[in-house]
Structure 1
Amino acid sequence: MTATVPDAPRDPQSRLPGGRGIGAGRGGGGPMQIDPADRAQLDIAPVPLRRVTALFRGFGRQIGVVTAIIAATSVISMAQPFLVREVVDVAIPQQDVRLLLLAGGAMVAVAAATQVLGVIQTWMSTGVGQRVMHRLRTDLFTHLQRQSLGFFTRTRAGEVQSRLTNDINAMQGVVTTTATSIASNLTTAVATAVAMVALSWRLSLLSLLVIPPAVWLTRRVALIRREVTARQQSRRADLNVQIEEGLSVSGVRLSKTLGAGRRHAERFAATSSDLVDLELRSQLAGRWRMATMQVVFAAIPALIYLIAGLPATSGGMTIGTLIAFTGLQASIFRPLMGLLNVGAQWVSSMALFSRVFEYLDLIPDVAAPAAPVALDPARVRGEVRFEDVTFAYAGESAPAVAAVSAVVPAGGSLALVGHTGSGKSTLASLVARLHDPTSGRVLIDGVDVRDLDPEALAQVVGVVSQETYLVHASIRENLLLAAPDAAEVDLWRALAAAQVADLVASLPDGLDTVVGARGHRFSGGEQQRLAIARTILRDPRVLVLDEATSALDNDTERAVQHALDELVKGRTTITIAHRLSTVRDADEIAVLDHGRIVERGTHDELVGLGGTYAALAGAGPAREPEGERGSHGPRGPAYDAVA
């Protein structure tokens, strides 16, 4: 089975907040109905049973022991009513203290044995479930790491996170609760029915008439509550979304800049008010049916007492038998209700497996080579060659890069310039293999980057982009992502080269300062310099600088540019910059337009041509219109380098 990701994937969180486990949103332990979304999921990506059972390969002994414990628990617990009958009919009337002590001790022993067996069963089943989920969770995370950048741009982050956390967590309930509850309910129902027949076959026949309508009424009450609960969860999901949107760093910034705080508060209050109304309806839903059900439950033992009291139907029934049978009659409802949920539980469980397997079966757009070419990063010269490279994004009719050929000699530099959407960043991303060319090749030292191990390629090619990303950890941990074995002196050297060492040294916690969510504790320029330091620490032979200084002020930009000028010496560099002054000294400048190279040469050569580059530089017959300069505005001759 090969699963594909739809353009607008479903988000399980949009239906149920906090993940959807087995029975979630179905009336708080009441009867379940098959969720249409679960059925649709299985229609899209059916799950062979053998694939689910394969997850438990190697745990056969533990599963067998758990099954035996469940059966033993059900059988042992059935001794209780017979002990009660013996106490009531024999021990108490005859004042048989010895029998009373033995029966009472046996009752305690039965209860203790079933509880001990229950603890052992929980320990074993949870252990198996946790190990299976650990393997599945890590396999899914590792597999998603292999997906291309395109997968994450067309898939909502919430969808990926929900499948990795919510669905996996819900599957924990499947493997440790659902399967064992089905086995427990089945054995308990059978054992209880056998015990009832053994106590009184006449009263058991009566139960066949009474139990079905009682079960039906119980389901009706629970289904009414389920409908209201589903609406509650939908509104809670809305509430969670509003909290996330309104109280995240980005959300608060947007709210304050747009003056939308009061509107957000009013919307939140309206949703919260709806929840108050729904909670009242939930508590009152089916209340009269519940009252009726309680009357039926009270009538059942009354009927049993009536049948037992009539000479024609009692059959010489003893008081002890009557008490024991009444207890069994009441206890058989729970396993029966559990068994009635098996169909819905099965579909819901398989839907969870389907959602996870759907991602596990994704074929990466940028797959690691089966037999990677051996390449020692320390011996790489750094020549980069584009051979007739074309790349088109999925669903786009026109290619972002079309038939581009270029060579950047080892230690040389290539600058890419052009208007927004001309393909500059896309072309540069092919070097780091964030995408694979639709046709053509990108080579480093004559080796196709598709034939290199991804980790080896990451050691060879360093990227500093205009969009920095710092993890929510300390500065030290962020830097060590690039070089886990780096010494502290190396960290400070990289920070100094990026013109940010003084700032870090001035912080109370120094390198151990936590950068905050996405680095928001620091300014944009500070974040950029920390990202540059991280790349410097990696010491790659090939550098891709995509708007590396875009977030810096003039003075800081000059300082960092000086550090970059020192860094690029002896390295192959591909640069995209928002100011032409930063690329004028490149060995070659390529001007892109609609994915094609329309001009190439040095700065002086291109200015002399009087064409597109000259217009961008403000030296030609026509300047770029102000409205097309992107987000950098009128800061000198500029263009937006976002491809």
Structure 2
Amino acid sequence: MNRDLQILAPWLKEIGAHRRYILPGILLILVTGLSGIALLAISGWFIVGAGITGALLATGVWVYFDIYIAGAAIRVLALTRTVGRYGERLLNHNTVLRLQQQWRVQVFAHMVRQPSRFVSQLRTSDLTQRLTQDLSALDALFLRIKAPSVVATLLLLVVIGAVSLLYQHLFISISILLCYGMALLGGIGGARYFSRTNGRLEQYHYGVLREHGQQYFEGLAELSAAGSAQLRQQQLLAAGNALTSAQAERLRRQRMLTSWVALWSGAAVMLLLGMGALLLVDEQTSVPHIALLVFAALAYGELLQNLPEQNGHWGGVVQAADELNQICTPTGNEPMVNYAPELSAAFIWQHIDLKLRGKAIFADLTLTVARGEKVALLAPSGHGKSLLISMMLGLQGWDRGQVVMGQSATHWKSNLGVVEQESRVLAGSIAENLRIVKPDSSNEELWQALAFADLAETVQQMPDQLQTLAGAGGYRLSGGQARRLQLARLYLQDPEFVMLDEPFTGLDEQQQNLLRARLEEWLANRTCFMVAHGEKALPPADAYYTLIQGKAESIETKLS
């Protein structure tokens, strides 16, 4: 349990920081619960008292019974309970919305401070789970766990005080405290303990189900073509069954604990009745007083019945907080990229060693790109070409060696243009995709960029032209159109340093030849490092290298 509290510590701290909203909310819950208990207790006292009065009057005994004070008390308590209930919902939901707003901002803030390498390794399904299901699960930390448990404990003190006041018997007070203490132990402690495994499993399987579902529906066409759709369906069903099993086990234990709470709450009621009868024989109490305490005990026991369900969310909340902590906890600095403005070269990979999954990718690799030089690295797929670009961008670490930039960090990051192996297209319009690199660009500049990438005519034929939506991941565009859109973005950015990773992917031979010539002219006064599987997949370069046993070796003649 201490481990759970450590995981929840930063989120509990945030709740504590909102105590000007939290404390009034808890107070209103307390007032609502107290009003409910008092309402039922006084109603029971009133009913019994009125019944006794009527019986005595029927026998000719003159009895004075003031119904107005009791009736007024019942009305006031009913009104107080109603106002308190709606007031606490209004205030507490406002508090939760404030917390959710702050938590979302904080999660985003922590994410952007993380190293690029860390963020790039997060899957879309993971981010979706963290920012939706996990943050929503934290609602229960205050509304379902903290506040009800605190209020139930405080109300126990009120009930024990009433028992002590009306029965004035230490043994009875201690016995009632023991009964309700056992009920609280099961409803709070037991529910939290048993949910630690199943609640966390439920939250975990929910994430797995979301991941498999997202992968299945996004890649349904590819899976069907590869004949793997049925396998993915089985994985999706298995994830759903695992989630259902975890939920069923949590609910089974929740019912068990609800029965435990009902048992001890019922024991308290029976104890009040039995001991009240004994005290009544000794004329140490009255029937209305017994009724008042019994009905108060029944009302309090009804309130306790909700605790197992409320605290049953503990495991899921801990799992959600643990997963969010992994995003929010600093993971250290980015890979050691050194910036040396005085360096004559543009950038250098120096004595780089890298192993991935036990396989040596680079072994004492050294490669230098001079200022204004265009260097091409040619190698088959899987040899680590793209990893060198990832190192430059801080997305990939290495085991030994260093990467040195021949300029300041600010100059490098503001003057670097990259075309990655995978076309990165946002869900917005074509204009929005281009203005990522130059927000203040005019429409004329956008058309010039599209013309450079041989995409202007295609966009002009679209009904919405520049406002045409590309769709998530560019699904409304063909592969070649998405690629040319990325090249148009590079042209619009007009960077000093350029990195190209298979820039002509998805283009036919005619388009490749056209764009190769245009890129050759455009790159004339720029520094460029480019990688591909063959020479024809790149614009002309000043120097060519290949990878042999993890080292960069110069190629004296261009490959055919």
TM-score w.r.t. the length of structure 1 is 0.68
Which secondary structure does the structure 1 equivalent of 2:463 belong to? coil
| C-alpha distance in 2 between matches for 1:117 and 1:423 | 65
Other-structure match for 1:360: 328
CA shift, 1:122, in A, is 4.1
In the alignment, structure 1 residue 557 sits paired with structure 2 residue 512: yes
After superposition, the C-alpha distances for 1:219-248 in whole angstroms (9 at most, x for unaligned) are 99999x9899999989877765654343x2
| C-alpha distance in 2 between matches for 1:460 and 1:502 | 29
Taking the TM superposition and a 5 Å limit, the aligned residue runs for 1:459-470 are 459-470=414-425
CA shift, 1:357, in A, is 3.3
Other-structure match for 2:443: 488
CA shift, 1:462, in A, is 0.5
5+ long unaligned stretches in structure 2: 58-62
Distance 1:154 1:571, change over 3 A: closer
In the alignment, structure 1 residue 186 sits paired with structure 2 residue 153: yes
Distance 1:61 1:217, change over 3 A: closer
CA shift, 1:514, in A, is 2.5
Other-structure match for 2:377: 416
Q: Share of identical aligned residues, percent?
A: 20
| C-alpha distance in 1 between matches for 2:259 and 2:15 | 45
CA shift, 1:467, in A, is 0.8
In the alignment, structure 1 residue 594 sits paired with structure 2 residue 549: yes
CA shift, 1:61, in A, is 3.5
Asked if 2 retains the 8 angstrom alpha-carbon contact of 1:423 and 1:593, the reply is: no
Other-structure match for 1:84: 43
After superposition, the C-alpha distances for 1:364-388 in whole angstroms (9 at most, x for unaligned) are 4427999x99x9xxxx999623263
| C-alpha distance in 2 between matches for 1:534 and 1:518 | 15
CA shift, 1:544, in A, is 0.9
Other-structure match for 2:214: 244
Greater share of helix residues, 1 or 2? 2
- Aligned positions, number: 547
Give the one of 21, 31, 45 matched to 1:62.
Answer: 21
Asked if 2 retains the 8 angstrom alpha-carbon contact of 1:221 and 1:286, the reply is: no
Structure 2 counterpart of 1:170, which letter?
A: A
CA shift, 1:105, in A, is 3.9
| C-alpha distance in 2 between matches for 1:284 and 1:347 | 15
Distance 1:418 1:298, change over 3 A: closer
5+ long unaligned stretches in structure 1: 1-33, 601-605, 608-612, 619-643
TM-score w.r.t. the length of structure 2 is 0.77
Other-structure match for 1:625: none
Structure 2 counterpart of 1:420, which letter?
A: S
Other-structure match for 1:452: 409
CA shift, 1:398, in A, is 3.5
Asked if 1 retains the 8 angstrom alpha-carbon contact of 2:418 and 2:499, the reply is: yes
Taking the TM superposition and a 5 Å limit, the aligned residue runs for 1:208-219 are none
Distance 1:98 1:503, change over 3 A: farther
| C-alpha distance in 1 between matches for 2:511 and 2:26 | 68
Other-structure match for 2:354: 392
In the alignment, structure 1 residue 173 sits paired with structure 2 residue 118: no
After superposition, the C-alpha distances for 1:253-280 in whole angstroms (9 at most, x for unaligned) are 2332133556666777788899999999
CA shift, 1:566, in A, is 4.0
| C-alpha distance in 2 between matches for 1:182 and 1:408 | 67
Structure 1 counterpart of 2:214, which letter?
A: E
Asked if 2 retains the 8 angstrom alpha-carbon contact of 1:81 and 1:325, the reply is: no
Asked if 2 retains the 8 angstrom alpha-carbon contact of 1:495 and 1:501, the reply is: yes
Asked if 2 retains the 8 angstrom alpha-carbon contact of 1:146 and 1:366, the reply is: no
Structure 1 counterpart of 2:108, which letter?
A: F
Distance 1:68 1:480, change over 3 A: same
Distance 1:239 1:64, change over 3 A: closer
| C-alpha distance in 2 between matches for 1:165 and 1:173 | 14
CA shift, 1:495, in A, is 1.6
Distance 1:363 1:419, change over 3 A: same
| C-alpha distance in 1 between matches for 2:70 and 2:230 | 69
Give the one of 429, 439, 454 matched to 2:390.
Answer: 429
Give the one of 497, 513, 521 matched to 2:476.
Answer: 521
Distance 1:582 1:325, change over 3 A: closer
Distance 1:309 1:367, change over 3 A: same
Which secondary structure does the structure 2 equivalent of 1:440 belong to? strand
Other-structure match for 2:60: none
CA shift, 1:573, in A, is 2.0
Distance 1:234 1:549, change over 3 A: closer
Other-structure match for 1:542: 497
